Amino acid sequence: MGIIPGAMGAKSFIVRGLGNPESFDSCSHGAGRVMSRTQARREVTLAEHVAATEGVACRKDEGVIDESPRAYKPIEAVMAAQSDLVEIVHTLKQVVCVKG
């Protein structure tokens, strides 16, 4: 059993490993970045961050722009890419995120 978190404001998943020896019985440990922290600070606006985290109690200031959801891969795509590695047991909807 494991937990695979999405980005700030995204879903997370409780999973059961399928024991795939080709992946050393492992899977991803999260969404993974598509932007470096520096790139995210340059490209993601505060307005985008606020909109992306609507409905989630979290920091909505310049200090967490590098953690904004746009800086990460879509968790649904990450989960689809590892369907041979894990079985989704439960989907969690994020309602709070504590950063910095």
Active site residue 90: no
Cβ within 8 Å of residue 33, ≥6 positions away = 71, 72, 73
Distance CA 72, CA 64 (A): 13
Q: Are the C-beta atoms of residues 40 and 65 closer than 8 Å to each other?
A: yes
- Find the catalytic residue in 3, 25, 29, 42: 29
Burial 4-25 (b: 16+ CB within 10 A, else e): bbbbbbbbbbebeeeeeeeeee
The DSSP code for 62 is G
Active site residues: 29
